[in-house]
Amino acid sequence: MAELLNIRVKTLTPLWTGGIDGACDRLHVSGIIGSLRWWYEAIIRGLGGDACDPAGYDKCKFDLKEFQKDKNKGENEQDALERAGLCDACKIFGATGWSRRLRVKIDEHQIMPAWNGPTLNIRPPDRSRGWFLNPGHWGTFTLILHGEKTILEQLADLILFLEQWGALGAKNQLGYGVFRLENRKEIEQYAGRWRWFVTGNKPAGECPDLRRFGFFNLRFKTENDHWWTYIPALERLLGEKNTARALKQTEERGMIPLAPVLKNTWRFHDWQGPFSIAQWLFGASRGEEDRVRSKVNVSWAYRNGEEWEMRGWVWLPPKDGNGQVIASQHLQKLWECFCNENIWSNVLKINSPELVFRPAERRWRGKTPEEVRGFLEESICSSS
Ligand SMILES: [Zn+2]
């Protein structure tokens, strides 16, 4: 029987759900569902199971006749779907011939542009072009999910995980989509009935896979409210009236667009490996940003009570875009950058931040499905 689950979301950094002009547009449901599917797939693969790449050649092909035949024989629906060619992600999120098992609506009670005014060009002094940030959305809204109980339980669990370590919508690589749940208790009750299981031991491949993800979270206190105005890339924007006003507005809303500043340091100061692998991991710029999506995702700085917080994740796949194995020392060096408090302190000009990373080891390695399961359970328990 279908049920309803309301998820009340407060944005901590701007939310980007697609459309040409994120500022003037509404929230797009498809952008939210797309990100839920992306994470769901990464989890399923991380647990050793099967999730196709819906944009790839190997995407699931649903055999309706086979499905109906099995159903008529009185087979369990989940088994029949699997035999008809659907992976776990397609079963919920749909495939050609099999519609999505989930209806999603958005109630935008309090959503507005994250700032009024111009695109912000965050350009550290050593860059000629820098990064371009558009406003996106800010405020609170409700996601109304309608579907079978077991599906809602999994999504409740997924949302709790994303609140802790992930994000919603697009442009996560530029720090968009971090959020807080306003009705967490309700969602926890729902999620409490769901358990993730290791479903196989397929090796990690070309698609996002939680076994190859690393997560980090930085908290810090500052002596005054102006700390961020001394960071050169932002100082420059404060010298111009329109961009200064936009930045003040984001500050009042408890968020400072610092993602590019960290990415600049990791990529152009700390990275020692080949240029082609940097492009694969950090994304191709100069109008090609969408061609190779950055695997390094870091949020803006946002307020969390008395403190500030920044967080993010990296996906360090075993191979590059040409199918060549990436030498482990490059991935190791990169992981050390994210885990290095001193880099964060120097870039942000702050003192004694508290840095947490998962897996909690400075040596980079892929995880096992069992470790992924443990991490999911730990994350969801500690969010309460
Ligand atoms: Zn599939």
Q: Are 266 and 157 found together in one domain?
A: no
| pLDDT, tens digit, 9 for 90 and up, residues 260-277 | 999 999 999 999 899 999
**Phi, psi for 13 (deg, rounded to 5):** -130, 165
Rounded to the nearest angstrom, the distance between the alpha carbon of 59 and the centre of ligand 1 is 5
Flag whether 102 is in a domain.
yes
pLDDT of residue 242: 96
Q: Which domain holds residue 356?
A: 210-382
* Domain at 183, CATH number: 3.30.70
ipTM of the complex, rounded to two decimals: 1.00
Q: Are 325 and 185 found together in one domain?
A: no
Rounded to the nearest angstrom, the distance between the alpha carbon of 216 and the centre of ligand 1 is 30
pLDDT of residue 22: 47
C-alpha span between 186 and 51 (Å, rounded): 29
pLDDT of residue 381: 73
Q: Are 148 and 247 found together in one domain?
A: no
Flag whether 205 is in a domain.
no
Q: Are 246 and 375 found together in one domain?
A: yes
Quick check: 167 and 178 in contact, CB under 8 A?
yes
- Overall number of domains in the chain: 2
C-alpha span between 196 and 273 (Å, rounded): 37
Rounded to the nearest angstrom, the distance between the alpha carbon of 97 and the centre of ligand 1 is 12
Neighbours of 240 (CB within 10 A): 12
Rounded to the nearest angstrom, the distance between the alpha carbon of 23 and the centre of ligand 1 is 33
Q: Are 279 and 358 found together in one domain?
A: yes
Q: Are 45 and 170 found together in one domain?
A: yes
Residue ranges of the chain with pLDDT lower than 70?
19-24, 285-290, 382-384
- Of the residues 157, 191, 225, the one at which a domain ends: 191
Q: Are 322 and 178 found together in one domain?
A: no
Flag whether 202 is in a domain.
no
Q: Are 24 and 168 found together in one domain?
A: yes
Cis peptide before 118 (omega within 30 of 0): no
- Of the residues 126, 161, 191, the one at which a domain ends: 191
Rounded to the nearest angstrom, the distance between the alpha carbon of 62 and the centre of ligand 1 is 9
Rounded to the nearest angstrom, the distance between the alpha carbon of 96 and the centre of ligand 1 is 10
Q: Are 267 and 355 found together in one domain?
A: yes
C-alpha span between 378 and 161 (Å, rounded): 10
Flag whether 204 is in a domain.
no
* Per-residue tokens: 181: 């749940």
Mean pLDDT of the chain: 93
Rounded to the nearest angstrom, the distance between the alpha carbon of 37 and the centre of ligand 1 is 11
pLDDT of residue 1: 79
Flag whether 117 is in a domain.
yes
Q: Are 120 and 258 found together in one domain?
A: no
Q: Are 113 and 217 found together in one domain?
A: no
Quick check: 69 and 84 in contact, CB under 8 A?
no
- Of the residues 191, 223, 249, the one at which a domain ends: 191
